[in-house]
Homo-oligomer: A and B are copies of this chain.
C-alpha cells in the first residue's frame, strides 16, 4: 500500500548499481520498515534484514507497539526458515539503532548477542538524545562489529514523525489540500464537490493510512459530513482508525449528532477540541501517542497552522482547472512574516492532477 512513498524513500537514486552492499541491504531493510508505517505509533516504523554469505536469511519489521521490534521479527523469521544456528556469524541490517534497554519488549541488543550475530549495520541513530549511540557501546563491548549511518538520510526520513514527537512533544504534521491551479478549493456551484481525480483521492487514503490522526474544522464537518475512514481494504484491515479530530469554536453540540463521525463504528475515535490553541491540540495528540497528524481542513484553519509554522510536510494536489472563486487553500490575508520554504520538493502526475510534495525547511 505504501509503494508510492516507499519508492521515494528506499532508493536514493535510480542507479542501484551504485549501491554498496551495505546500501543494498539497507534498502531492503527500508522496504521492510515501510510495511509498518502508520501501524506502530507511538513507536517508529523499523525494518531489519539478516544476511550471511551474501544471502538474505530472513527479514522483519515492527508491526505494532507491544509486538516484537524489527530485529526480533527478523531473527524469528530466520529461525523459522533455517536452523537456529544459521544466525551465528550473520549480519543484521536495521534502519534504526537497536534498542539497548528493555521496554515493553526485551532489549534488541540482547537478542543480537544471544544469537551469535557478529555484525550490526544500522541507518539512523536513536533520535532520543538519551539513547543515541548506546547500542554501539553495548555491542562493541561484546566484540560485535557496528556500522552506522548507512542510507542514513532515508532512514531518518522514515523516522521523522517519531523523532519529531520524541524531541519536541509535537507530532509530525502533514498538510494535504486539493486546489485548482489558481489555489482555490471550491468549484462553481453547478459543478459538484470534487476538484481532484479518483487517483488523487486514492493517494489521500494512502496518506490517512500513514498517520495517527486526521484534523478537520467544524465547517468542513458541517458541510461535508465526512467519514475520514480508510477506504483502502488492505490498510483498514491492519490499521486502527486514526483519530478523527474536529476543531470547532462552538463545541460538539454545534455539530449534527447524527453525522458519521458520531454514529459509525469508529465513533469512539472522534475527538472534539473546542476553541483550543492549535499547538495545544497537537501536543495533546502527541501525548496520546500520535507521531503524525494529517490536516484535511479548509483554507482558514490551514492558514492558521501554516502561519504558526506547525506544519512539517505539504502534500498539495492541483487539479487541472481554474475556478476563480473565493475559497483559497491557504485562506486570505496579509503575507506571512516570512515565506515558508519547502525542500525535498517533488512533483508527479496523479491521474489528471499534479501532486507537489515537500518538507518545510527550518
Chain A positions within 8 Å of B, measured between CB atoms, are 179-184, 186-191, 303, 306-307, 314, 316, 318, 320-326, 328-343, 345-349, 352, 354, 356, 358
15 A-B pairs whose Cβ atoms sit less than 8 Å apart in the complex? A182-B328, A182-B330, A187-B335, A188-B338, A190-B338, A306-B324, A320-B341, A320-B358, A322-B342, A323-B340, A324-B330, A328-B328, A345-B349, A346-B349, A347-B354
Partner of A306, one of B186, B322, B328: B322
Closest to A325 in B: B335
Partner of A325, one of B334, B340, B341: B334
Contact A321 B341 (CB under 8 A): yes
Contact B182 A318 (CB under 8 A): no
Partner of A188, one of B328, B332, B339: B339
Q: How near does chain B come to A7, taking the closest CB pair, in angstroms?
A: 17
CB neighbours (8 Å) of A342 from chain B are 181, 320-322
Contact A334 B338 (CB under 8 A): no
CB neighbours (8 Å) of A188 from chain B are 335-339
Give CA–CA (A333, B189) in the complex, Å.
14
Q: How near does chain B come to A308, taking the closest CB pair, in angstroms?
A: 11
Contact B179 A183 (CB under 8 A): yes
Partner of A186, one of B303, B324, B332, B335: B335
Contact A303 B324 (CB under 8 A): yes
CB neighbours (8 Å) of A343 from chain B are 320
Q: How near does chain B come to A345, taking the closest CB pair, in angstroms?
A: 4
Contact B191 A328 (CB under 8 A): no
Contact A349 B349 (CB under 8 A): no
Partner of A324, one of B314, B316, B335: B335
Contact B191 A339 (CB under 8 A): yes
Give CA–CA (A249, B346) in the complex, Å.
41
CB neighbours (8 Å) of A329 from chain B are 182-183
CB neighbours (8 Å) of A179 from chain B are 183
Chain B CB within 10 Å, residue with most, of A183, A331, A334, A346: A183
Contact B339 A321 (CB under 8 A): yes
Closest to A324 in B: B336
